[in-house]
């Protein structure tokens, strides 16, 4: 199948919500023959019904999530379908967030500005400093009793002040 073709070009019935909701997963090829290949239509119907959720789709097909994911990665039209379904989910959540922000939810407004408005300067910045804005001083303790003579010499050279 050409990468420009959609799964819906090959299986137009998948556009019908009733067809997908009544898809015969219990008797489908992918579930009946668990040791062999997947059937693309079975996978696509499961993805659509589960709105792109791989765990749910795998359960419908009687397969493992990892196995299904590995199959989808190899088949461009199934990968495109799964990505489209997840993008639809994100679009829906973004719409809900936008509506909440416009309705006056200050927490959502701050979140939306700090994520979507970064290029306009809505970025939270934090700096770590010591007391009264001074630098943070750290102390490290080295157990010199376990160091070789050569390592002790190198440490001494590194920490000694150069002759003036």
Domain carrying residue 95: 7-119
Question: Does a structural domain hold residue 161?
Answer: no
Q: Is residue 82 part of a domain?
A: yes
Q: What share of the chain is helix, strand, coil (3-state, %, to 5)?
A: 65, 0, 35
Residue 159 within any structural domain of the chain: no
- Name the residue with higher pLDDT: 35 or 83: 83
Count structural domains, the chain: 1
In a domain, 139, yes or no: no
Q: Quick check: is 157 in a domain?
A: no
Q: How far apart are the first and last CA of the chain?
A: 77
- pLDDT tens, position by position, 118-144: 888 888 777 788 888 888 877 777 788
Distance CA 65, CA 82 (A): 13
Look at residue 155 and tell me if it is in a domain.
no
What pTM was estimated for this model as a whole? 0.66
Say what the pLDDT of residue 130 is: 81
Inside any domain, residue 129: no
What is the secondary structure of 111-146 as a DSSP string? HHHHHHTGGGT---------GGGPPPP------GGG
Residue labelled with tokens 């943070």? 136
């Amino acid at each position: 199948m050409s990468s420009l073709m959609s799964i819906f070009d090959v299986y137009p019935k998948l556009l019908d919500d009733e067809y997908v909701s009544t898809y015969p997963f219990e008797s489908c090829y992918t579930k009946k023959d668990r040791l062999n290949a997947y059937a693309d239509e079975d996978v696509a119907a499961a993805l659509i019904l589960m709105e792109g959720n791989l765990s749910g789709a795998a359960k419908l097909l009687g397969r493992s999530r990892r196995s299904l994911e590995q199959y989808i990665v190899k088949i461009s039209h199934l990968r495109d379908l799964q990505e489209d379904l997840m993008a639809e989910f994100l679009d829906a959540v973004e719409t809900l967030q936008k509506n909440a922000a416009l309705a006056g939810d200050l927490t959502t407004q701050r979140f939306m500005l700090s994520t979507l408005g970064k290029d306009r300067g809505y970025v939270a910045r934090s700096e770590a400093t010591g007391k009264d804005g001074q630098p943070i001083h750290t102390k490290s303790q080295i157990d010199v009793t376990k160091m070789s003579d050569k390592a002790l010499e190198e440490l001494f050279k590194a920490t000694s002040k150069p002759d003036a």
